[in-house]
Chain A
Amino acid sequence: MNRLRASFPVLTVVAAILALWYVAAAGLNLQWERDQAARAKTEVPFATMLANTMAQDRPVLPVPHQVAVEIWETTFEKKITSKRSLVYHGWITLSATMLGFVFGTALGMALAVGIVHNRAMDLSVMPWVIASQTVPILAIAPMIIVVLNAVGLSGLIPKALISTYLSFFPVAVGMVKGFRSPDAIQLDLMRTWSADRGQVFWKLRWPAATPYLFASLKVAVAASLLGAIVGELPTGAVAGLGARLLAGSYYGQTVQIWSALFAAAALAAVLVALVGLAGRITLARRGQAGGV
């Protein structure tokens, strides 16, 4: 019951957005219908025109149910090996995302461990970790892809590298914070037990950092998906959700663009939710307070 009450405002807002969307679609697509009518020199009643705006082939703004139908058809009614199946494209993007996510998490953690344990590294590397994100890496994506293609590396790895670059940052920053979250009094206690650095790390810092880990993994997985999608843009629209976007924009297939966009959104939501779930289960098993 409580959940229902909490979701009511959200549902209202979503419904309002959908309603706005229909109105906007009618407004934006009407011009084309008018032009058609003028060209055919026929008088089309306004109501028919309005109805037609909902079913254009290449609308300026497709209406939600058109997008929903397209997603349904390309997800469930095509064979998943078909080039027109969203599942096929989604899988390609997902595999690059996961590979990049794993790389990025490993790199971020390694950096965080180094930064926490070595003062010189803290002072010299940390500013560059932060500065690295002011470089619009996505802008370099096409070059990385093309250059790596020239060396013979193609397919998953180049895309995964872009995802890595985007996802290591939240993990590194979050884990540095997490590894430093134990209080001085706790560190002192470890010292009175004459624990060495490894023991302090595994028995105190690592458990203390776990909530931070999952919070930053959530950000990292979303960033990693973004990297994979943008990494697919310059490959000449071969496969993947990003390629669907680019192909759609080349051929004016707006419905295809929107359906790829929604597939990407759904994928992002599922990934973030899965990481969140894993975090809750892990923390609950440990009896730690959930989330940061």
Chain B
Amino acid sequence: MRDLALNGLARQPLLLAPAALGLGLISLMLARDGMPAWGWALVLGAWACAWALVAALAARVGQSGGGGDRALRLAIPLIFGATLLFLWEAVAVGARIPPVLLPPPSAIAARFAGSLPILYADFSQTFLRSVLIGYALGCSAAVVCALAIDRSPFLQRGLLPVGNFVAALPIVGIAPIMVMWFGFDWPSKAAVVVVMVFFPMLVNTVEGLKAAERMQLDLMRTWAASHRQTLLRLRLPMAAPFIFNGLKIASTLALIGAIVAEFFGTPTVGMGFRISTEVGRMNVDMVWAEIALAALAGSAFYGIIALIEQAVTFWHPSQRGARA
């Protein structure tokens, strides 16, 4: 009987959420002035409650339809992420880990809020100039190239293996060369980004252009559609999921390329520059703030592309499945 009651209790999100929150807050307060041994028990308790909450919520997914379900699917990873942040904070503060090694999230957040102008300057140098310009140039060049290759089976058989090979190479290695050619400012970073995004994008687009089926192509032919019409009305739409896949892969590569290229020489602004200099000065919380910025920018970039994908390829099974 008691087991049943406990079991029921462990499935009540309304009870678990405040329990996790309360235990967590108390243990964090304890952690600030030296964690007593039983404080760690509270940390573990908060963790257990949070996990039980996640499990309880996960069991409910799919039971209620529509909006509630979507909110649950969003809430579960958020709770999990918050738990990780809490554990990080508790361990970093409670165990007195030297901030040089691992600053607690609160210190990073404070640093982030305190140095917004610097962060914005770095963001606009690295992201708005190098990444966006390089990304746009590289991806459009790749799509144009793919359309050209598409006209020639010979080039397809010749360029694709080479493209596949190059896509697997550690391309960031060209960063020092590009810095030598295009100087220290953003054009050299944009050039690295162009080369980095080009091949994955090319391979994906060419793959996508093959996605139209024989039957569909024949149907277009019976309608006497020109090459251009077939391309615009059938093959490009069919290729869209592949193209967006390429765009998504390229979005993370672009940010990496721009930041790593800055390690090889830059003007005194930029995310990569800031990271490498602040590491040298052991200002680790600033580095983490910069990383948080990079993560935010990267996720937002990815998210925007995913949203555009949803709007453009709403007809595709993978998107319909996600909605239903």
In the assembled complex, A47 has its CB within 8 A of some CB on chain B: no
Contact A260 to B173, CB < 8 A, known contacts A128-B77, A138-B260: yes
8 Å CB contact of A147 from B54, B81, B252, B284? B284
A6 contact set on B, CB distance < 8 A:
157
Chain A contacts with B in 58-90, Cβ cutoff 8 A: 60
Contact A128 to B81, CB < 8 A, known contacts A120-B54, A135-B298, A264-B170: yes
CB of B134, distance to nearest CB on chain A (Å): 14
The interface on chain A, measured as residues whose beta carbon lies within 8 A of the other chain's beta carbons, has a size of 57
How far, in angstroms, from A272 to B252 measured CA to CA in the complex?
22
How far, in angstroms, from A150 to B100 measured CA to CA in the complex?
9
Q: With contacts defined as CB atoms under 8 Å apart, how many contacts are there between chain A and chain B in the complex? A: 163
How far, in angstroms, from A229 to B298 measured CA to CA in the complex?
22
Stretch at the interface among B30-38, B109-117, B272-280: B272-280
A124 touches B279 (CB 8 A): no
In the assembled complex, A184 has its CB within 8 A of some CB on chain B: no
Interface of B is mostly: helix
8 Å CB contact of A265 from B61, B80, B170? B170
In the assembled complex, B40 has its CB within 8 A of some CB on chain A: no
CB of A203, distance to nearest CB on chain B (Å): 27
In the assembled complex, A176 has its CB within 8 A of some CB on chain B: no
In the assembled complex, B295 has its CB within 8 A of some CB on chain A: yes
How far, in angstroms, from A249 to B174 measured CA to CA in the complex?
10
Contact A139 to B260, CB < 8 A, known contacts A60-B180, A234-B276: yes
In the assembled complex, A127 has its CB within 8 A of some CB on chain B: yes
B275 contact set on A, CB distance < 8 A:
139-140, 142-143
Residue-wise, chain A 110-150 has the 8 Å CB interface mask toward B (1 for contact) of 00000000011011111110010111111110110011001
Stretch at the interface among A10-18, A188-196, A281-289: A10-18
B172 touches A226 (CB 8 A): yes
B263 touches A233 (CB 8 A): yes
Enumerate chain B interface residues (CB-CB to A < 8 A). Answer: 51, 54-55, 57-59, 61, 73, 76-77, 79-81, 84, 100-101, 154-155, 157-159, 161-162, 165, 168-170, 172-174, 176-177, 179-181, 251-252, 255-256, 259-260, 263-265, 271-272, 275-276, 279-280, 282, 284, 287, 290-291, 294-295, 298-299, 301-302
Identify 17 residue pairs between A and B in the complex whose beta-carbon atoms are under 8 Å apart, listed by A's number: A9-B158, A12-B154, A60-B180, A120-B57, A123-B58, A134-B251, A134-B295, A134-B302, A135-B295, A136-B295, A138-B256, A142-B263, A143-B284, A234-B279, A249-B265, A261-B174, A265-B170
